[in-house]
Structure 1
Amino acid sequence: MTGTINDGWISSQGPFVQRFERAFADYHGSAHGVACGSGTAALTLALRALGVGPGDEVIVPEFTMIACAWAVTYTGATPVFVDCADDMNIDVTRIEEKITPRTKAIMPVHIYGRRCSMAAIMDIAFEYNLRVVEDSAEAIGVRPVGDIACFSLYANKIITAGEGGICLTDDPRLAAQLAHLRGMAFTADHSFLHKKLAYNFRMTAMQAAVALAQVERLDDILAARREIERRYDLGLKDIPEVTVMPPRDVLWMYDIRAEHRDELRVFLEGEGVETRLFFKPMSRQPGYYTPEWPSLNASRFSADGLYLPTYTALTPADQDYVTGKIRSFYGTA
């Protein structure tokens, strides 16, 4: 980041944003990267670039971060929710029943770093002539296959710029439209004639420099996180009250399901261990509330799930402390 300051490049201009876009795209095997201000901004740009707007519907998982639904709503379209499967990703077998003549796109989300069944989703998209926007906010390092993949660089993500996001695509026309919408839809001569509604969603050079430094060592970061996953798996096995969840393609957060979860959280907080709850089902959110709430897998996961401290610098001693406290709570220490 000192290079950006020394060279005077602190806004979105200069070489650092482009260097980050190129490095991130290359790492994921994509042709084009368009950086922006957040993961939510990336999702919104992706939907707009694909022409999603008022009157359209977008298939969204019931179990996800609300930013997915909000991005759809920002465009004027309507999110249509599909329950999750046992891996907490969107249940591919339930997608087709939610498709209508208004459906424009599917937004699969790689929950907690587990890759969705993308081959099946792409087959459905092909059959119904739909576009695919991958929410890869929690899956940095997973190669995308949809029309556009959207990543987050928020402070708790696998790599971070504090805030930030990036869209990846293999389509040069989509990349150009993403960049156009990101930068207030300026014309080529940068006159102040703006022909469409757009956004100031640009990433700063300082953010890009911070993110670029981490892309350059992303293999090591992902390997360190795989080791964290392995140690948690070992430390939590054979506790009847704890369900160790399926392996992740990349580790964003180490998630478990636990009996007496709320009491466990209070106990761990008292021992200096911070945890987080699983996502709430979208149909329970005030903005998307559904009075006739069906029985959902998402509700089961939300009721007893939490994730444990997960960051690249987490030490074996830190993990031993966490798993030891959990065993102590359940009387299996």
Structure 2
Amino acid sequence: MNIPFSPPFIDQSVVDQVMETLNNKWITTGPKVKALEQEIQSLTDTDAVICVNSWTSGAILMLKWFGVKPGDEVIVPAYTYCATALSVLHCGAIPVMVDVLDDFNIDPEEVRKAITPKTKAIIAVDIAGWPCDYNALFAVINDKEIRKQFKAESDKQTLLNRILLISDAAHSIGSLYNGEPAAKKCDVTIFSFHAVKNITTAEGGAICLNLPLQFNPADEYSYLKMYTLNGQNKDALAKSKGGGWRYDILFQGLKINMPDICAAIGLAQIRQYNNSLLPSRKEIALKYCEGFENQSWFIPPPLASIQRESCYHLFPLRVKGLTEEQRDTIIDDLAALGVAANVHFIPMPMLTYFKSLGYNIENFPMAYQNYASEISLPIYPQLSAVEVEFIITSVISVIQIQLNSVIKLTDDQYVEPIKQMAVAS
């Protein structure tokens, strides 16, 4: 068997949307982007949606929009992809890393301890599609003593008058919180539409606004759309119309708009998402849970509770008693059987660049524990029932081999396992 980790979902409807865009000869930002923004707004029930060319550029944009500057602090989890912290660094600010909970997501109490008068924002990451505890995070932000510390230093900060809560929802389009779209639960939610995501535009992202009433969604949408086009007051489509060539630059913006040729891919996918693509992912996740439930080493990933439900972007399998070295061997053994697996994520303090900035993984024990025992299994609509069963059987087989702490030779003879393999707990 040859089972890739996460191929993009490309069916005839995707091909048709892309061909329609090509045939219309309008491939940069235009009607397809607008249609995708409207579909995302409908899916998330948020106040406004701005499509951009990546999650990272969307995060940089929103931090700059809020006035985050050199010397400011933004709290992020240590357990996430590097872009979460890099977006902060691109604004000249300091990423303040905190540890996570057993469910992979940021620990609200660690956030509380990390807040200082320099804290301007918190970026909470929905790992694997599992929403963070946003009620708990807002309870921290709105604490009377925390609010007293906040120092507004820009127009947007003055208007909000507290720490901004951003959801890094790169994994979590379609996740639910208290029965509603999780994207509604933050001031700002940012999606990724990278090739491996539940919905893809090849490369791309979207910003969803859910700001308090003192903000006007239409005004913020117009301003942010200009920001994605270098601060230009007209987009290319408006300029292309007769007599529409004249434009102005109103402020120092960025060039991070999404083109129609990319939006066309996502537009075809999002129209199938709730009825087809998302249920397929959920079905596979439940099959995995059923297949592993009798294994003593199986730690079920957070998928659903009374309050929250994942969008099943990843299936983050964790194995009790596993060392990092054993986990790596298991992934290699699965690859030898034709099953591509992955790890989400290498904690940022383990990466060379962040180590050079002084971050140390020893300060984030839960992040390391989650990482060392985590194996991301394939989960996508194109997987067949036969392939899912093969993955389950293969995973059980290779894990059992690694968890044998001794190898029996005869009835009364044993040898120690390969060096560096810890005895399973």
Q: Is the 8 A contact 2:49 2:206 kept in 1?
A: yes
Larger Rg over CA atoms: 2
Aligned partner of 2:260 in structure 1 is: 205
Secondary structure of the corresponding residue to residue 125 of structure 2: coil
Q: How does 1:34-113 map to 2 (within 5 A)?
A: 34-113=50-129
Could you list the runs of 5+ residues in structure 1 that have no partner in the other structure?
none
Tell me the residue number matched to 2:199.
Answer: 159
Of 178, 202, 227, 2:224 maps to 178
The answer as to whether partners of 1:46 and 1:150 remain within 8 angstroms in 2 is no
Judge conservation of contact 1:231–1:316 (CA < 8 Å) in 2.
Answer: no
Deviation by residue 1:181-205 (Cα, 9 ceiling, x = unmatched): 2111114587676454322111111
CA distance in 2, matches of 1:3, 1:274: 34
319, 322, 325: which is aligned to 2:391? Answer: 322
Secondary structure of 2:363's partner? coil
Of stretches 195-204 and 206-215 in structure 1, the one that deviates more from structure 2 is 195-204
CA contact (8 A) 1:106 1:125 kept: no
User: Larger deviation: 183-192 or 69-78?
Assistant: 183-192
Are 1:133 and 2:189 an aligned pair?
A: no
Q: Which AA in structure 2 matches 1:126?
A: N
**Distance between the aligned counterparts of 1:291 and 1:212, measured in 2?**
40
Deviation string, structure 1 residues 206-238 (Cα, Å, up to 9, x no partner): 111111111111112111111011011111122
Please name the residue that 1:253 is paired with. 314
Structure 1 Cα separation of the partners of residues 253 and 354 of structure 2:
25
Q: CA deviation at 1:161?
A: 1.0
Q: How many equivalent residue pairs?
A: 331
Q: Deviations over 1:2-27 (max 9, x none)?
A: 221222211113x1110110111111
The answer to whether the aligner puts 1:215 opposite 2:270 as a matched pair is yes
What do the CA deviations read for 1:266-286 (whole angstroms, capped 9, x no partner)? 111110111111312222222
1:130-178 CA-to-partner distances (Å, cap 9, x unmatched) read 1111111100113212121100001110011111111011333432332
Q: 2:286 aligns with which of 227, 230, 234?
A: 230
Q: Which amino acid aligns with 2:255?
A: N
> Take 1:93 and 1:104, find their aligned partners in 2: how far apart are those partners?
17
Instruction: Indicate the SS of the match to 2:267.
Output: helix
RMSD: 1.8
The answer for the alignment partner of 2:208 in structure 1 is 168
**Helix, strand or coil for the counterpart of 1:104?**
strand
Report the Cα distance in structure 1 between the residues aligned to 2:90 and 2:125, rounded to whole angstroms: 18
SS state of the match for residue 276, structure 1? coil
Partners of 2:73 and 2:187 lie apart in 1 by: 17
SS in 1 for 2:254: coil
Q: 1:329 to 1:28 in 2, by over 3 A?
A: same
Query: 3-state SS of the aligned residue for 1:235?
Result: helix
Q: Which residue of 2 aligns with 1:5?
A: 22
- Residue 239 of structure 1 pairs with residue 295 of structure 2: yes
- Structure 1 residues 277 and 330, CA gap change in structure 2 (3 angstroms): closer
Task: Measure the CA separation in 1 of the matches of 2:97 and 2:75.
Answer: 6
Instruction: Report the TM-score, using the length of structure 2 for normalisation.
Output: 0.74
Unaligned runs of 5+ in 2: 1-17, 148-161, 176-180, 211-216, 235-243, 305-309, 402-425
Q: Which amino acid aligns with 1:179?
A: K
Identity between Structure 1 and Structure 2 (%): 28
Distance 1:162 1:329, change over 3 A: same
User: Does the aligned pair in 1 maintain the 2:102–2:370 contact within 8 Å?
Assistant: no
Contact 1:113 1:253 in 2 (8 A): yes
Q: Supply the distance in 2 between the matched residues of 1:205 and 1:78 (Cα, whole angstroms).
A: 35
Residues 131, 6 of structure 1: alpha-carbon distance in 2 compared, 3 angstrom cutoff: same
2:9 aligned partner: none
Contact 1:135–1:150 at 8 Å: present in 2 too?
yes
Structure 1 partner of 2:345: 279
CA distance in structure 1 between the partners assigned to 2:84 and 2:174 by the alignment: 20
SS at match of 1:95: helix
Relative to structure 1, the CA distance from residue 108 to residue 97 in structure 2 (aligned partners, 3 Å threshold; closer, same or farther) is same
The yes-or-no answer on 1:266 pairing with 2:327 is no
Please give the alpha-carbon distance, in whole angstroms, between the structure 1 residues aligned to 2:116 and 2:245: 40
Q: Contact 1:49/1:177 (CA < 8 Å) preserved in 2?
A: no
